[in-house]
Copies of this chain bind each other. A is one copy, B any other.
């Protein structure tokens, strides 16, 4: 029997990590997971994420592809990894995948949430690690109108770090869902798209919050959706309130249970 392709679904608290991607001398989620895999498999095993998350960003659904020896059933691999991982990373589930599964290129959709605390309570130690405390009520109508403009296919060059996409990239993303919803003590912005550019959710939230606080007009949003650069975007909202919630793959890539 040949090697197995497994999808691991990870939760992590981004507070103690310099982001997802392996970097020499830094504590990163990929680095920690690959260390554990090497210990279990007695050889280097690459953990390929669906995409990078920035330093401080959390996940409760980061998808990671690994190739391991035939002796590793997904569920026993999951338990073995969890037994060795530190407390701030956890493998929630593990799936046997077709050999052609690729965590990044096979993904058809990704979903993020961004938590904004409007009341004083957002400063509580139980919320400040995962919520952006804006300390004031927000114009919900303006937020809803802004989010509605995002749905559909647009070029998001105005909301991305420049130079991070290849030159031929058209920066187009298809937004399936973008909406502000009530969460305890504040609001949460949920967005689902086929792909995201670097810092895109944080730039979008930063700009929408400026609109909701009356610092810039709602019309700026559609201007930015047609911009050729990011010169006029608001500063990105801070990373610690952002969660990667889910990565979606075609059903056909999952191996049917034997």
A residues near B (Cβ < 8 Å) are: 11-13, 58, 60, 82, 87-90, 92, 120-121, 123-126, 128-130
Contact = CB atoms under 8 A, between A and B. Distances in A.
Total copies of this chain within the assembly? 2
Contacts of A87: 125, 128-129
Nearest to A125: B13
Contact of A125 (B90, B121, B123): B90
A124 B60 contact: yes
B130 A126 contact: yes
A146 to B, nearest CB: 28
Contact of A92 (B13, B82, B90, B120): B120
Main secondary structure of the interface of A (DSSP, over half): mixed
A130 B89 CA distance: 16
Given A92-B120, A120-B92, A121-B92, A60 B126 contact: yes
A213 B124 CA distance: 34
A124 B88 contact: no
Contacts of A128: 87, 90
A142 B124 CA distance: 35
A125 B12 contact: yes
A129 B90 CA distance: 13
A125 B88 contact: yes
Contacts of A125: 11-13, 87-90
A-B pairs, top 7 by smallest CB distance, nearest first, are A13-B125, A11-B124, A88-B125, A90-B124, A90-B123, A90-B125, A11-B125
A76 B124 CA distance: 18
Contacts of A129: 87
A95 to B, nearest CB: 15
Given A11-B125, A89-B125, A90-B125, 5 more contacts: A13-B126, A58-B126, A90-B123, A90-B124, A92-B124
Contacts of A88: 125
A20 to B, nearest CB: 15
A123 B81 CA distance: 13
Nearest to A15: B125
A236 B126 CA distance: 24
A123 B13 contact: no
A57 to B, nearest CB: 13
Contacts of A11: 124-126
